Amino acid sequence: MQILLPERNQTPLSGDQHHLLQQFIAALSPEQAAWVGGYLTGLVANNLPAVAGADDIADITILVGSQTGNSEALAEQMHSLAAGRGLKTVVKKMGDYKFPQLKAEKNLLVIVSTYGEGEPPDTARELVEHLFSKRAPSLKHVQFAVLGLGDSGYEFFCKTGIDFDRRLEELGATRIHPRIDCDVDYESSAEAWMDGVLNELSARLETKSQTAELSPPSLASTSVYSRKHPFPALLLENIVLNGRGSIKETHHLELSLDGSGLTYEPGDVLGVYPTNAPDVIDALLQTLHFDGTERITFDEKDCFLYDALFSHYEATTITRPVIRNYALLANNRKLDQLLHDKQKLNDYLHGREIIDLVSDFPSDSLSPQAFVDCLRKLPPRLYSIASSLKQHPDEVHITVAAVRYQAHGRDRKGVGSTFLADRIGEDATIPVYIDHNTNFKLPADPATPIIMIGPGTGIAPFRAFVEEREAVGATGKNWLFFGDQHFETDFLYQAEWLRYLKNGVLTRMNVAFSRDQQQKIYVQHLMDEHGKELYAWLQEGAHLYVCGDEKRMAHDVHAALLKIVAAEIGTDNAEGYVVNLQKTKRYQRDVY
């Protein structure tokens, strides 16, 4: 069935609305399209309020700050659960939130992630700054609860959620449920928080449980596969992109999604569930003086210790909760002293793994069950999608750098990267799911120019961007900055970029190969070199995208952008200009 939409100039929709509607309709089956038509007809016939008017009837605001999309997914889940209890909620993104609305809130539920070294999501920065400024209002009339998402592998675990929780209380708001800080394995903790908050709000608002109203299908709901129920994707290709002699090992993997019903857009992420390497498990068991045949309980099921460590538990990365849990069992004085010295603890954690912990601080009385109870579950690894579904139907591609290094006298390797690089043979399947990232998306208008900055494997989403722009016939200009070590061996997807340059899909490309000359050159240096042209593109309305390492590259690129803007409009105005780019979603980052 072909669905014909009226031309843009024949509708009352804005350009963005018309584009989104086209994308939504294109993904529907005939049955779904018929249902949506009936649903919309019913809305009009019954004169029901539009979604935009939901603020007027909502009892509860769910305020969400997300970097990769997980917080937004939980906010939508909370919204649906609340509807099932007869509670009227509205979901608002922190980047779009109007500060004066704080005074009007009654029940405020905050779901916010932390990334990097305690940083708030890019879209939440302005709201965080406002809350901690002198302009923050009194919130004595507000009831609130906070759910924080983070990674306990970082020192400042869930710092943004902790900051929100503390600051809302300082401003006079009343906490209706304790904050929960969720690790990378967040589902159970998040659901417990939702249940507790909704129980409290249901009692306070005196609502009666009711069946949630039927809502229009979303693109994500067309598949039965999800983070909780991953799809076994068949490996189609596994190609090393680096040339002979490179010290790097970057893999291009192509996986089949045939039969999954999974869909994605450029900017989305593929979640992969790896297993731990057998040699890593063997070495850990030997250090613990276990043989792996011991029986333990995992998720209320009986299994062998080896199987649990292989498939279910994080067996390498040490986090602060893990080391604290282990210290309670080890009864080791040196370990207790280490825990109370923050600097020494940070130094110890750098480059060490769980095998180092149990080797350096052995415990004679440790049982297999007690040991695994110290650990966190093995989380999925997330990879930026490097393909357009329009160009590769029923496939998804990713770009993965195999991580191998030595530290503290031991060989180390990345769990997910070497799982994909070394241990997936032909005709093997990999458990995967799609993680939708609404904060890293192409402009709705295909005529909008874009600037992409992605060194190393940060190039992955921009391969998807350019493929998509070619597939839809986008007329907007495309400018790519790429960097790596050596031109001869590390120019990832070189043939493709040359083809795009030749056929005009890629307007221009600037490359930096840091080790090909005595003085290292990086992408930020290229930005500075072409600062006037880059600023001119921004003035034309270009969207700027950055993908890659957050600790160094992303910070250096941000500093270069500020310097470029300052050279054109002055230092005093540069910060505000860049903040406005972020606020209007013309400056987006996918950093890790």
What is the per-residue pLDDT across 37-86, written as a single tens digit (0 to 9) for each?
Answer: 655 654 444 444 334 344 444 689 999 998 888 899 999 999 999 999 99
Question: 């249902």: which residue's tokens?
Answer: 35
- The per-residue pLDDT for 218 is 42
Whether residue 26 lies inside any domain: the answer is yes
Rg from Cα positions in the chain: 25
In total, the chain counts a number of residues equal to 592
- Which domain CATH number covers 582? 3.40.50.80
* Long-range contacts of 255-258, Cβ-Cβ distance < 8 Å, separation of 24 or more: 255/395, 255/396, 255/397, 255/398, 255/430, 255/432, 256/394, 256/395, 257/231, 257/233, 257/394, 257/395, 257/396, 258/234, 258/394
Whether residue 217 lies inside any domain: the answer is no
**Both 416 and 389 in a single domain?**
yes
- 585: phi > 0 → left, psi -120 to 50 → alpha, else beta; which? left
**Both 335 and 428 in a single domain?**
no
- The per-residue pLDDT for 70 is 87
- The per-residue pLDDT for 51 is 40
Return the higher-pLDDT residue of 2 and 550. Answer: 550
Is pLDDT above 90 for 27?
A: no
Residue 9 in 3-state DSSP?
Answer: helix
274-278, 329-333, 400-404, 539-543: which range is least confident on average? 329-333
- The per-residue pLDDT for 130 is 92
**Both 430 and 575 in a single domain?**
no
- The per-residue pLDDT for 217 is 40
Is pLDDT above 70 for 243?
A: yes
**Both 584 and 481 in a single domain?**
yes
Q: What is the distance of C-alpha 240 from the center of its chain?
A: 25
- The per-residue pLDDT for 585 is 93
Identify the band that residue 19 occupies on the pLDDT scale cut at 50, 70 and 90. Answer: low
Can you say whether the dihedral through the CA atoms of 10, 11, 14, 20 is positive or negative? negative
Domain-terminating residue out of 176, 205, 234:
205
Whether residue 216 lies inside any domain: the answer is no
Identify the band that residue 457 occupies on the pLDDT scale cut at 50, 70 and 90. Answer: very high
Domains: count for the chain: 5
- The per-residue pLDDT for 212 is 39
Is pLDDT above 70 for 396?
A: yes
**Both 32 and 53 in a single domain?**
no
Identify the band that residue 154 occupies on the pLDDT scale cut at 50, 70 and 90. Answer: confident
**Both 478 and 528 in a single domain?**
yes
- Structure letter (DSSP) for residue 395: E
The strand pair at 60-65 and 107-113 is best described as parallel
**Both 78 and 154 in a single domain?**
yes
- Which domain CATH number covers 121? 3.40.50.360
**Both 486 and 507 in a single domain?**
yes
- Which domain CATH number covers 350? 1.20.990.10
Domain-terminating residue out of 326, 348, 374:
374
Specify the pTM: 0.81
Answer yes or no: are the C-beta atoms of 92 and 129 closer than 8 Å: no
Identify the band that residue 153 occupies on the pLDDT scale cut at 50, 70 and 90. Answer: confident
Give whole-number Cα distances, 455 to 348, 484, 592, in Å: 30, 6, 13
Residue-range definition of the domain harbouring residue 533: 450-591
139-148, 199-208, 281-290: which range is least confident on average? 199-208
**Both 159 and 260 in a single domain?**
no
- The per-residue pLDDT for 52 is 39
For 77-132, write each residue's pLDDT tens digit. Answer: 999 999 999 999 999 999 989 998 998 899 999 999 998 778 899 889 999 999 99
Highest-confidence range of 13-17, 115-119, 334-338, by mean pLDDT? 334-338
Whether residue 472 lies inside any domain: the answer is yes
Is pLDDT above 90 for 588?
A: yes
**Both 201 and 229 in a single domain?**
no
Highest-confidence range of 230-239, 323-332, 548-557, by mean pLDDT? 230-239
In this prediction, residues 343-370 reach a mean pLDDT of 93
Whether residue 218 lies inside any domain: the answer is no
**Both 282 and 358 in a single domain?**
yes
Residue 572 parent element (H or E):
helix 571-583
Whether residue 215 lies inside any domain: the answer is no
For 540-567, write each residue's pLDDT tens digit. Answer: 999 999 999 988 899 999 999 999 999 9
* Residue 151 CB contacts under 8 Å (≥ 6 apart), including other chains: 115, 157, 183, 184
**Both 182 and 54 in a single domain?**
yes
Whether residue 109 lies inside any domain: the answer is yes
Percentage of the chain beyond pLDDT 70 is: 87
- The per-residue pLDDT for 49 is 39
Domain-terminating residue out of 151, 177, 205:
205
Whether residue 234 lies inside any domain: the answer is yes
